[in-house]
Amino acid sequence: MPAKLIDGKLVSSVLRAAIREEADAFAAKRGRRPGLAVVRVGDDPASVVYVRNKMRACDEVGFTSAVFVLPGDTSEEAVLSRIAGLNADPLYDGLLVQLPLPAHLDERRIISAVADSKDVDAFHRLDAGHLTLDGGNVLPCTPYGIMELLRYYEIPVRGRECVVVGRSLIVGRPMAALLLAADGTVTIAHSRTADLAAVTSRADILVSAVGRAGLITAGMVKPGAAVIDVGMNRDAQGKLCGDVDFAAVSEVAGYITPVPGGVGPMTVTMLMRNTLSAAQAASGQMPD
């Protein structure tokens, strides 16, 4: 039997409708809407598209939003000063700096200047020592979105073999941390893993976050496994595809995410969820 499709667009729209309702309730009570500010430095074409998608999502869920575009040659001090201003601006509950930044800027220094309470990308939590991810509602968006997909399709994690391929700070490591926090038995594989197929074929839940088309073939997947494809690649025809050989793996897996339409739509949705959580936390700290 072919695998059941995990539909990220569907789950995203369900979650966005719920976020919209909560945002409306927040506005009715607080007299203002949750707000997200995005700082973009320069005109990297992919960043322009990503930021536009984030702004559209803000409109959809009823948030106040604004993009602050700085010229590509802006000095580090000027970027930091803009961040300090937005940190202090009560209109915005969330603040993110779109990456990548121009080469003359110190990405780490700039990201860490964002106030903890407004760090809706959860980049501060990716630092060593925060990787247990316990406590707090704001979680790294892509792995958070994957946990929501598993929850929606009632795919249990507790006690099951989970394999994450890829160990990046943004996806692989926090993914492993969230699966571990949900009581999965977690293995992280990477480019130095000796026998990748032997590791992946143990997985009840297999997450591939590598960025290499065709890496995960049907022979590497346990029958009935849930296969989550984070990869975003272009195939020989220039079409967007993931890391997983979708057609062949669909014949073996129990569940599978498509690319596009799987993990991708969830990432921006969880950014909206994190912004709402930041707004709720900020208003909880203020007297009524």
Strand 240-241 and strand 233-234: the pairing is antiparallel
Question: Per DSSP, what are the bridge partners of residue 244?
Answer: 216
Radius of gyration of the chain (CA): 19
Asked if 99 touches ligand NAP (CB under 6 A), the answer is no
Q: Look up residue 234 and give its two tokens.
A: 């272009």
Q: What residues from 242 to 271 belong to the interface with ligand NAP (CB under 6 A)? A: 263-264, 267
Q: Give the Cα-Cα-Cα angle 88, 48, 277 (nearest 5 degrees).
A: 40
41: nearest Cα among 80, 10, 5: 80
**Residue 227 in contact with ligand NAP, rule: CB under 6 A:** no
The minimum distance between CB 135 and ligand NAP, in angstroms, equals: 24
Catalytic residue of the set 98, 119, 204, 222: 98
Among 42, 102, 156, 211, binds ligand NAP (CB under 6 A): 211
Secondary structure class of 206 (helix, strand, coil): strand
Query: Active-site residue among 54, 93, 118, 204?
Result: 54
- Selected catalytic residue, list 7, 121, 204, 229: 121
280 belongs to the catalytic site: no
96 vs 93: CA distance, rounded Å: 10
Can residue 174 be called a binding residue for ligand NAP (CB under 6 A)? no
Q: Is the Cβ of residue 37 or residue 263 nearer to ligand NAP in the bound state?
A: 263
Q: Binding pattern to ligand NAP, positions 11-50, x when CB under 6 A?
A: ----------------------------------------
Which of 230, 235, 241 lies closest to 264 in space, CA to CA? 230
9 is catalytic: no
2 prior amide bond cis, ω within 30:
no
Burial of residue 154, with CB atoms counted within 10 A of its CB: 0-12 exposed, 13-18 middle, 19 or more buried: exposed
Q: Binding segment for ligand NAP among 60-68, 70-78, 124-132, 164-172 (CB under 6 A)?
A: 164-172
98 is catalytic: yes
230 binds ligand NAP (CB under 6 A): yes
Task: Using CB under 6 A, list all residues that contact ligand NAP.
Answer: 142, 165-168, 170-172, 189-193, 196, 209-212, 230-233, 263-264, 267
